[in-house]
Structure 1
């Protein structure tokens, strides 16, 4: 025997109400395409990103980190050396620590940790700043091939630069 018309009507409306409720809940969760939500602090549309200052003892890392920020921010603002809004960065720490060893106590893996101090100013006004942005990346040590270990360190530096730049941009766009 089939369900009565009243029961079918109630089931149909219950299903429709459930679907509408789920749609409303999902629409309120804040889903959005990463990197496309929000605007830059101070509604900045152009930004100058000069080469960051390197206050560590590790030479020639500032251009790699700066380039990561230029690459990350170019999709949200026009990068313009003549902009009144300027992102200034200082690499305050470059730290290598052994994190794993072989059975013979030989370094097997290093952890590279980089810390930055960043600010965005527009004229004399500080629009945004954070003096302790840090990230790390582990890489393998090859005791028989120093060149491979150096390449691992450079790759870790690039990855950290990209990750810190992306994290910083997301924080700015989300106002954290």
Structure 2
């Protein structure tokens, strides 16, 4: 009798949890804010920074993300149903780690944080209705500037470029997943 009551309670509990589910699903899945959307365009982002080619880098990474993962086709603007429009609002560098040189009471910066802020939206091409928008999407990456014992400005520059490429790919993945999750 106790076993039978336990089975009933278990069955009712399972049914309750199934009915009360919050709609959880994996990120990057779903139809996005406009079900049935098949063709999107991602032109070069506007670049309000002094970083050369940043607009092309970030738009290219987002195109690759949709082509690699999505069911939507990336097409020219004339053939698209919706258009992603992006603006690189800021790129800033914050020194976070230093190495003290006691001989001359000087410090070398050895690590920086590279911050990128985007204004990204997806707009229905016909109605110009905004389907999805994040006006202040910010992400950062820590990178090594110099070896304090043997400073090399070239390797510091290359590390910054690697961090910028990493951010373009990581932010594109997050934009893709949030767009399809309608979040």
TM over 0.5, shorter chain: yes
1:32–1:42 CA distance, 2 compared to 1 (3 A): closer
| Residue equivalent to 2:114 | 112
Q: Distance in 2 between matches of 1:22 and 1:149?
A: 56
Residues 70-89 of structure 1: pairs in structure 2 closer than 5 A: 70-74=63-67, 75-81=70-76, 82-89=79-86
Structure 1, unaligned stretches of length 5 or more?
1-5
Q: Distance in 1 between matches of 2:126 and 2:81?
A: 6
Query: CA-atom RMSD, angstroms?
Result: 2.5
Which one has the largest radius of gyration? 1
1:18–1:159 CA distance, 2 compared to 1 (3 A): farther
Q: Distance in 2 between matches of 1:172 and 1:95?
A: 26
1:91 counterpart (84, 88, 92): 88
1:166–1:148 CA distance, 2 compared to 1 (3 A): same
How many residue pairs end up in the alignment?
167
Shift of 1:15: 5.8
SS in 1 for 2:129: strand
| Residue equivalent to 1:3 | none
Residues 14-163 of structure 1: pairs in structure 2 closer than 5 A: 14=6, 17-18=9-10, 21=13, 25=17, 28-37=21-30, 39-43=31-35, 44-74=37-67, 75-81=70-76, 82-104=79-101, 105-121=107-123, 122-127=125-130, 128-143=132-147, 144-163=151-170
Cα deviation per residue 1:111-168 (whole Å; 9 max; x = unaligned)? 1111111222223513233321111111111242323222221221122112222222
Structure 1 residue runs of 4 or more that deviate by more than 4 Å after TM superposition: none
Cα deviation per residue 1:34-74 (whole Å; 9 max; x = unaligned)? 3123x122332210111112121111222221122112222
Q: Distance in 2 between matches of 1:86 and 1:79?
A: 10
Cα deviation per residue 1:3-30 (whole Å; 9 max; x = unaligned)? xxx5xxx236526744773686378254
TM-score (norm 2): 0.77
